[in-house]
A and B are shown apart, each in its own frame.
Chain A
Amino acid sequence: MPGRVKTFRKDLLAYLLIVVLFPFLLSDDYYHSVGVIVGLHAIVAIGLGLVMGLAGQISLGQAGFWGIGAYTSAVLSAKYGISPVLGILAGAIVPGIVAFFVARAIAGLQGYYLAMATLAFGYIVQIGITEWESVTGGANGMISIPSLDVFGIGTSEVSMYYLVWGVVTLVLLFSLNIMNSRVGRAYRAIHKSEIAATSMGIHVAHFKLGAFVASGMFAGISGALYAHYMGILDPQPFGLHESIKFLTMVVIGGMSSIWGALIGAVIINAISEVLLVLSEHFPWLKGDIDTIVFGAILVAIIMFMPEGLVPRLRSWAKKPKSSVRAANRSEKAEMETVA
């Protein structure tokens, strides 16, 4: 256990250093805006990571919660003049409530059923946003959504960057703490075997519901921040394509690792940016290059590295000193922490 806490701290220190220094190292508005988007995606991915990694469930409708959050805050502030701060609060609560009812409704579902139910949910949200024209502006979208502007925060790229990564850090700490707490151990037990977990007195449905609601709220906060950051919204980014992008982030980083979701968000956005540049230089890349890449990543990771990048890198980093005895020891330590 002490070892785990120490690495946990080391990870966090390195993370904070990179996050704080990034705007100085790359002091260009382009990089700052990429940083903002990465942060917003990371918030959603960490939430999805909780659902997939801890509860062992899948959600293919995460962009739906993202969209609900974005439109809740946008409509409240642009149409009813409510302060964006309160709007963001509502942008967290409304998707949380929706996630609660969705989770309650589909609590008994697993595997394909859950995948399709969440996928259908995502589609219904997108169709709902498109069809509810009087409120959301329909396919044409909304314009002039007020920017955040709390003591000047949210008006410049850098201040938005720090705000977003502040939220990322909170979400990250929350999730890491959950992972390493009694609750987290319960989740891991559920992931391994629901029946065994139930027989140990763990209220499985209760925990799954919690993970789902938290992921909905995270996605909602991110969506609300996105709305105020962009200033305009249309239904297009809240569909299956984006949900699969979130899924790819979690899968590439490692489904059972919170850090994995964060790293995944960085990797996927880096790939997207590179592809964007490439498609400008090579006009024959006319279609959805990113779709090919994400599809290939999903297939390759599941086939060759199902645990994902971060756990794999960790085990490589530990390899040099690991003999069979060390492996046994770590296994023993693992068992002790679980006990």
Chain B
Amino acid sequence: MTEFFQYIVNGFVVGGVYAIVAVGFVTIYNVSRVINLAQGEFLMLGSMLTVSFISMQVPYGVAMLLAILMVTGLGILMQKYVVGVARQATPLSLIILTIGVSILIRGIASQIWGKDSYSLEPLTGNEPLAIGGVSIARQSVWIVLSVLVILIFLWYLMEKTMIGKKIKACSVNPLAARLMGVSPPRMTMLAFAISAATGALAGIVIAPLSVTSYDAGILLGIKGFSAAIFGGLGSPIGATVAGLLLGLMESLGAGLISSGVKDAIAFLVLIAVLLIRPTGLFGERNVGKGGL
């Protein structure tokens, strides 16, 4: 029974990270109808840059901050010089474009850091907390906290601020938004910045629990995307819930069935959702099949 609770706790922690990635996808999608398939690379870069800065004797917190800032800058550059330039591209071209960016980043990362795996020190100590027989890594607490902070921040930004209203206006009707003095490209850039920053942070907090390497982004990206579809592409709440559920299923599947199938679970969930309910858990009806 303790084991079972252990799986649930682990699942929630990893699921939180998937939730952040998923929300990153949704943020960009809502403004620009673009799915940034390089989202996973933001996570990888966040963690790898932090590792590098720390090895240069930069204090942990500063290293994190620098890494997040750099990845955010990259997100903005990507929007400005790649995705934004190809605005008129067909959906098929946009998919190829963001895949291209993603493998380009991965290739460059493999040049900089090689093919080795790196580990990142946990933020606070190694000895796990024990609550009723269930052991929880201290880092897990940090992950959960970061997830909460990010989600609350995004919720506040979207629901309570003028910027949120502008972003929503662009997603509802870009032309009308433009007429009201909102610049959709600028909002898209903001969305890229937000999802790059949150992605980088997610990558940094998850790295101490697993190892990180140049190719760590792809799997996290795909799982985040699975969660975004599972929750209903376009719905931040759906993405969060689905991310947590996905983490839970994965953890239980790995624990109760076999660890080899762990990664297949996300894909099976993705395909199952696409088949049974393409609109996802919380999706709008018209987002559905070809809603792109």
Chain A residues with CB under 8 Å of chain B are 52, 56-58, 60, 105-106, 108-113, 115-117, 119-121, 123-124, 127-128, 130-131, 240, 244, 247, 251, 255, 285-299, 302-303, 306
Bound state CA distance, A120 and B229, in angstroms? Answer: 13
Q: A16 CA to B266 CA in the complex, in Å? A: 46
Which of A108, A244, A299 touches B101 (beta carbons < 8 Å)? A299
Please state if B292 and A112 are interface contacts (CB–CB under 8 Å). Answer: yes
- State which of A110, A128, A291 has its C-beta within 8 Å of the C-beta of B290: A110
Which of the residues A58, A124, A291, A294 comes within 8 Å of B110, measured between beta carbons?
A291
Find the A residue at minimum CB distance from B91. Answer: A111
Which residues of A are found within 8 Å of B115, using beta-carbon distances?
286-287
Residues of A within 8 A of B102 (CB): 295
Q: Contact at B35–A112, with CB atoms within 8 Å?
A: yes
The reply to whether A115 and B95 contact each other, CB–CB distance below 8 Å, is yes
When the two chains form their complex, are residues B260 and A113 in contact, meaning their CB atoms are under 8 A apart?
Answer: no
Which residues from 222 to 265 on chain B have a C-beta closer than 8 Å to any C-beta of chain A? 222, 225-226, 229, 233, 258, 260-261, 263-264
Contact A298 B111, beta carbon cutoff 8 Å: no
Q: Which of B64-72, B173-181, B267-275 contacts A (4 or more CB under 8 A)?
A: B267-275
Q: In the bound complex, what is the Cα–Cα distance between A251 and B109 (angstroms)? A: 24
Number of chain B residues close to chain A: CB under 8 A: 51
Chain A residues with CB under 8 Å of B263's CB are: 123, 127
B97 adjacent to A110 (CB under 8 Å): no
- Residues of B contacting A121 with CB < 8 Å? 267, 271
B14 interfacial by beta-carbon distance below 8 Å: no
Q: Does any Cβ of A come within 8 Å of B218's Cβ?
A: yes
CA distance A127 to B85 in the complex (A): 37
Contact pick for A302, options B97, B110, B112, B226, CB 8 Å:
B97
6 more contacts with CB within 8 A, not counting A116-B226, A295-B100, are A121-B271, A127-B264, A287-B107, A291-B104, A292-B107, A295-B101
Known contacts A113-B229, A295-B101; is-contact A240 B218 (Cβ 8 Å): yes
How far, in Å, is B99 (CB) from chain A's closest CB? 6
- Whether B106 is near chain A, meaning CB under 8 Å from some CB there, is yes
Cβ contacts under 8 Å, A290 to chain B: 107
B96 touches A127 (CB 8 A): no
Residues on the B chain within 8 Å of A255, using CB? 92
Q: Is the CB of A295 within 8 A of B107?
A: yes
Asked if B267 contacts A120 (CB within 8 A), the reply is: yes
B93 engages A117 (CB within 8 Å): no
B278 within 8 A of A: yes
Known A106-B274, A110-B289: A286·B92 in contact at CB below 8 Å: no
Cα distance, A57 to B222, chains bound together (Å): 19
B274 touches A123 (CB 8 A): no
Cα–Cα, bound, A292→B35 (Å): 21
